[in-house]
Amino acid sequence: MANNKLVINPWKSIDVKDYNKLMKDFGIKKINPKNLPDNLYFRRGIIFGEKSLNLITVALEKNKPFVMMTGLMPSGKFHFGHKIIADLMIYFQQLGAECYIAVADVEAYLTRGIPLDKSRELAINEYLINYIALGLKPEKTKFYFQSEGAIDYMNLSKYVSKKTTYNELKSIYGEITPEKIISAFTQVADILHPQLSSYGGPKPIVVPVGVDQLPHINLTRDIAGRMKSDYKFIPPSAIFTKLMPGLKGDKMSSSDPYSYIALSEDPKEAAKKIKKHAFSGGQATIEEHRKKGGNPDIDVAFQMLLFGLEPDDKKLQQIYNDYKSGKLLSGELKQITIDKMTTFLTEHQKKRVKAQAQVKKFMAKV
Amino acid sequence: MANNKLVINPWKSIDVKDYNKLMKDFGIKKINPKNLPDNLYFRRGIIFGEKSLNLITVALEKNKPFVMMTGLMPSGKFHFGHKIIADLMIYFQQLGAECYIAVADVEAYLTRGIPLDKSRELAINEYLINYIALGLKPEKTKFYFQSEGAIDYMNLSKYVSKKTTYNELKSIYGEITPEKIISAFTQVADILHPQLSSYGGPKPIVVPVGVDQLPHINLTRDIAGRMKSDYKFIPPSAIFTKLMPGLKGDKMSSSDPYSYIALSEDPKEAAKKIKKHAFSGGQATIEEHRKKGGNPDIDVAFQMLLFGLEPDDKKLQQIYNDYKSGKLLSGELKQITIDKMTTFLTEHQKKRVKAQAQVKKFMAKV
């Protein structure tokens, strides 16, 4: 691996400065949104790249089965950073994908020391409930815990070890420990097991992931190829999303409640957070702002609109232009975001209450 | 690790030259046969050492439950090298141990490429049948395949990864690869899982092993200690057996049928093998032999008697003395061994036929 090549460690948050370099270094293709039904995240470049996505578009065209697979690491409140992947899960489910959602409770225990019962509680009461409130159809979803996987899946997470080396793991992950090796192999099994014969055999799988999960995708794709003779696995497809910036403009982190807004948050609290903490791209004074204009590309209130709070592209463009020209002040931009956020949270939390009953019913069957 | 310290790689056969150095290097205690009911292998120093065996003797004295745990690597015919561990399993079962036998089919697949169905067939038709013919009571035995373990066991084989480091694994095993890491963790779970709450909780476990399996024991003991706060695991006890020499005087190997005698072997074939291939400690000519005497310590025919074919210590000592003095010739010694071997194989193979029905009945319930 070249010295200047980025190494992504999925167990640490990353901050990508140059997506073009990243795409070149990791062989990620630029996404062509024309190949797939309309989606805000495609349109706005939030999904910036893909691997083998053509397998999914072909399956769609030919009306063949395909799988959407994703995992969740139950590390805290479900927030807007998580919403992107949830929306994409739902998007693929609506396109006809069979949905698999792995709760990475084993990984959470191994790499973060989170007890299994705590993971379980968070996965159900933070993640699953929000997924359903956002539109996931639980009856068409295979929601499982890594610690409760079926035997074929468990064994697969061991068999994949045959198809890689320590040096490869080190070059992919940058640093590696026994528990990270186990976590990585478990993730490989998560992604590949829907192709086992007990799950209906080989089929295309799309994994929507934040770019921080790229190493797992690469390892899985390589291992899938090397297992071809035994399992006929099709290397999984992936789409990669940019990471939503945290409230303060740097990384969003489950451990810092002032870095994110949770979907269960009181709208008034959320408004306060945005007013007080959201990193602004505006100038120091109104006068200066009117003259020089703001920078929407680093303004977190604007980013929130971009990442979905303002679904109308034209309106978004207008806000962008007005902010950049100095016509729209930081406080005004924040107020637009706060209004949108208040509406969203209020509506969503009503759906969340409804989802509660569905969650109970669903978990009784899991 | 000191440079001159022996590193044992359990995935390669080893040849221990100096058991005293080994015991010193690895903290193995000399066994005290007085603490346990009589057994040929203790008496004759074939079991040369132990770790924490006092936990087992205490359990015996106090009539408390304890477990005998062992694993089998289904790599070929069941031969005399395997018989030692089988006899010890049965010995502990007769003392009241709950017996666990793990078929290391996952490890066999990962480290030797043996397909699972092949492992299964060998485990049942080579190992289990001979265990039963030798005296194992199947109804008091938990016989399981690594690939079919219960969920708690599967998860344990992942959780143990938290309690070691790559450098530790490397220093214990000498060389390590991802599949060997998985194999090692699976073995740790094999040994520890009878102490999980779903299996009745913490209790002493004795593992009778050939010295080549020492690294697994050490890793398991260390990890058990480090998991104490969560699981209250008692580090497993172990007894270590010397490795029986192969027919030709070097290592016994499943891949070389002239290095061992299988328990299913035609007695006439076995006799031929001993006559033609058994490494002799005798002198080149009868005259020289009469004058200088033979060396029973390297004579494979004598070693076979020592490892159990001659159960009477006094008779064995007489043979030893006579051979050493030159009174007993190599051919005569071989004939004694052949006669004993013929009787043993003939009797055993009758028991094997009887065991067949028991195996079928037992496997229907596994």
Residues from chain B contacting residue A178 (CB–CB below 8 Å): 161-162, 164-166, 169, 181, 185
Span B246-264, pLDDT tens digits: 999 888 888 889 999 999 9
CATH for B257-355, options being 1.10.240.10, 3.30.300.30, 3.30.70.1350, 3.20.20.100: 1.10.240.10
Q: Which one-letter amino acid corresponds to residue B259?
A: S
- Of all residues in chain B, the one with the smallest CA distance to A164 is B178
- Of chain B, the percentage scoring pLDDT greater than 70 comes to 96
DSSP per-residue string spanning A53-87: THHHHHHHHTT---EEEEEE---S--BHHHHHHHH
pLDDT at residue B79 is higher than 70: yes
Residue-wise pLDDT tens digits, B172-182: 998 899 999 99
pLDDT at A15 (0 to 100): 65
Q: Do domains B19-243 and B257-355 have the same CATH topology?
A: no
Say whether A165 and B181 touch across the interface (CB within 8 A): no
A165:B177 CB<8 A: yes
Q: Cβ separation of B159 and A110 shorter than 8 Å?
A: yes
For A19-243, CATH gives 3.40.50.620
> How far B238 CA lies from chain A's nearest CA (Å)?
25
In chain A, which residues touch B (CB < 8 A)?
106, 109-110, 147-148, 151, 154-155, 157-159, 161-162, 164-166, 169, 176-179, 181-182, 185-186
Give percent above pLDDT 70 in chain A: 96
Residue type, B141: T
Contacts of A158 in chain B (CB under 8 A): 106, 110, 157, 182, 186
- Spans of all domains in chain B: 19-243, 257-355
DSSP conformation class of A102? E
Chain B residues closer than 8 Å to A172 by CB: none
Interface test with A, best of B161, B219, B230 (most A CBs within 10 A): B161
State the complex-level ipTM: 0.90
SS (H, E, C) chain B: CCCCCCCCCCCCCCCCCCHHHHHHHHCCEECCHHHCCCCHHHHCCCEEEEECCHHHHHHHHCCCCCEEEEEECCCCCCEHHHHHHHHHHHHHHHCCCEEEEEECHHHHHHHHCCCHHHHHHHHHHHHHHHHHHHCCCHHHEEEEEHHHCCHHHHHHHHHHHHHCCHHHHHHHHCCCCHHHHHHHHHHHHHHHHHHCHHHCCCCCEEEEEEHHHHHHHHHHHHHHHHCHHHHCCCCCEEEEECCCCCCCCCCCCCCCHHHCCECCCCHHHHHHHHHHHCCCCCCCCHHHHHHHCCCCCCCHHHHHHHHHHCCCHHHHHHHHHHHHHCCCCHHHHHHHHHHHHHHHHHHHHHHHHHHHHHHHHHHHHC
- Residues in A touching B152 (Cβ below 8 Å): none
Which pLDDT belongs to residue A152? Answer: 97
The minimum CA-CA distance between B155 and chain A, rounded to whole Å, is 6
Query: Rounded to a whole number, what is the distance in Å from the CA of A151 to chain B's nearest CA?
Result: 7
Interface of B with A (CB under 8 A): 106, 109-110, 147-148, 151, 154-155, 157-159, 161-162, 164-166, 169, 176-179, 181-182, 185-186
pLDDT digits (tens, 9 = 90+) for A31-59: 887 778 989 999 999 999 999 999 999 99
Mean pLDDT for chain A?
92
| pLDDT tens figures, A108-147 | 999 999 999 999 999 999 999 999 999 999 999 999 999 9
Which architecture, in CATH terms, is A257-364?
A: Orthogonal Bundle (1.10)
- Which residue in this structure is represented by tokens 């070059």? A171
What are the start-end ranges of the E strands in chain A? 29-30, 47-51, 67-72, 98-103, 141-145, 205-210, 237-241
Amino acid at A241: T
B147, B158, B177 member nearest A186 (Cβ): B158
- In the structure, what pLDDT confidence band is assigned to residue A164 with cuts at 50, 70 and 90? very high
Work out the percent of chain B whose per-residue pLDDT is above 90.
81
A250 pLDDT more than 90? no
Higher pLDDT, B283 or A32: B283
Q: What is each CA distance from A338 to A269, A270, B45, B56, B191, in whole angstroms? A: 10, 8, 81, 68, 58
* Distance (Å, whole) CA B351 – CA B133: 5
- Condensed to tens digits (0 to 9), the pLDDT of residues B141-176 reads 999 999 999 999 999 999 999 999 999 999 999 889
3-state secondary structure of A144: strand
